[in-house]
Amino acid sequence: MPLILKVEKDPSQSEEAIRQAAQLIVNGGVVAFPTETFYGLAALATDYQAIDKLYQLKKRPAQKSLSILIADPAELDDWIETIPNQALHLMARFWPGPLTLVFAAATHLPTNLTADTGKIGVRISSHPVAQALVREVGAPITATSANRSKSPSCRSAGEAITQLGSDLEAILDAGLTPGGKVSTIADVTTRPPKILRIGAIAAQEVFSCWEQNA
């Protein structure tokens, strides 16, 4: 049974729980946490072994890369090669929020994180607990959903436990998450960007913002 850490939506009321979860992640553990849609799974994005553990936990195919969460756009340069000018405008308009942008990955990122694609998806969550967790870890965390591969996404800690059980180190339990649509994924290594997944943000919104700043 994973450690269940109850948290309030205001992270300032749950600092100890977030600190505990962050320490588990830093030490190589996998922790479930709430986002603005569903629960996610956090492993340290710079830890090859932790990422491997996450793949096994999710039963996720190794050829499917993972995205990461960062705390602030200023951190982006540490994890990617270049930022296209139009991508800066997409970030300004849609971050924090459900838009994952795919960039050319920095060469020091673990190859199992990028699935040897040379690319990495990045976003900033609008959920205050997710933001606080990334800040406390002090490095990017993975942003994959807290479920077995091809199974339904989880809106509650209970659903995550049912699917993942004792394979999790801990869960930051913030109650029921809103659910809804997943994040939209846009590859900005091409011009115009390539929409890899349509989610909460319409493709036309992405293209419109890009074209206005071309």
How far is 68 from 41, CA to CA, in rounded Å? Answer: 10
The average pLDDT across 179-190 equals 96
Give 11-59 pLDDT, tens digit per residue.
Answer: 999 999 999 999 999 999 999 999 999 999 999 999 999 999 999 999 9
pLDDT at 214 over 80: no
The domain total for the chain is 1
pLDDT at 117 over 80: yes
Closest CA to 45 of 62, 68, 23: 68
Structural domain that includes position 56? 3-212
- pLDDT category of residue 1 using cuts at 50, 70 and 90: confident
Give 49-98 pLDDT, tens digit per residue.
Answer: 999 999 999 999 999 999 999 999 999 999 999 999 999 999 999 999 99
Q: Can you say whether residue 45 is alpha, beta or left, with left for phi > 0 and alpha for psi between -120 and 50 degrees? A: alpha
CATH of the domain at 20: 3.90.870.10
pLDDT at 212 over 80: yes
pLDDT at 133 over 90: yes
pLDDT of residue 213: 85
pLDDT of residue 209: 96
